[in-house]
Amino acid sequence: MKLTPRTHFWIDLLIRLVVGGVFITAGAMKIGEPLQFGDKIASFEILPNSLVNLLALGLPVFEMLCGLLLIAAWLRRPAALAISIISGIFLIAIVTALARGLTIDCGCFGTGTPTRARMWLDLARDTGLFLAVVIAYLYPAIKAPHAPESEARILSERAAT
């Protein structure tokens, strides 16, 4: 499938706004309640207690920072990669929790009542976010400054003048 640069630009912008918006919201909803978020992380029974609260304190800031950078398209490549990695980790965490028969609240957006049905919804949403942000990372519409194409263009423009 070959997209026109214009279509590509709009798709890329839409992904960045939606994914960035979701991560800013998710971070903002958890940043004021690290104690409750720590309990949610602990309920996955993956991390040792010594790391749970560090993650509960750092992750909301990380989500908001990367969401902002992704939307602002500043440091967008590291931001998109960071969101790809953390949404990939969320996916693994939810899949393993489902596989282990745990009924927990993912804690993605503050706190809620845990049900198995909601966990499947979380899984579907995270899969969508993960795929979207991986696309935004691998196929950026705005060329990074070090992309070979733009360097080649600058060189050819210089040669022409």
Partner 1 sequence: MKLSYIGRDLIGVVGLAIISLAAGLIINHAGPHPIPLVHQSPSERLQGELTRLVAAPPFESFPVETVGLDEFRPAVESKDDLILDARSSSFYLKGHVPGAINLARDEFARDYVRLRSSLEKSKEAPIVVYCSGGDCHDSKMVAQALTSLGYSQVKVFTGGWDAWTAAGLPTERGEPAGK
CB nearer partner 1, residue 21 or residue 58: 58
CB nearer partner 1, residue 96 or residue 150: 150
CB nearer partner 1, residue 147 or residue 152: 147
Amino acid at 65: L
Nearest one of 61, 53, 124, 50 to 87, comparing CA atoms:
124
When computed from its CA atoms, the radius of gyration of the chain, rounded to whole angstroms, is: 19
Shortest Cβ 112–partner 1 spacing (Å)? 8
Shortest Cβ 160–partner 1 spacing (Å)? 26
CA distance 132 to 59: 20
Say how many C-beta atoms besides its own lie within 10 A of residue 16's C-beta: 26
Spacing of C-alpha 55 from chain mean position: 15
> Which spans of this chain sit near partner 1 (rule: CB under 8 A)?
31-36, 38-39, 41-42, 49-50, 52-54, 56-62, 65-66, 69, 75, 77-79, 81-82, 85, 103, 111, 113-115, 138-139, 144, 146-147
Shortest Cβ 17–partner 1 spacing (Å)? 20
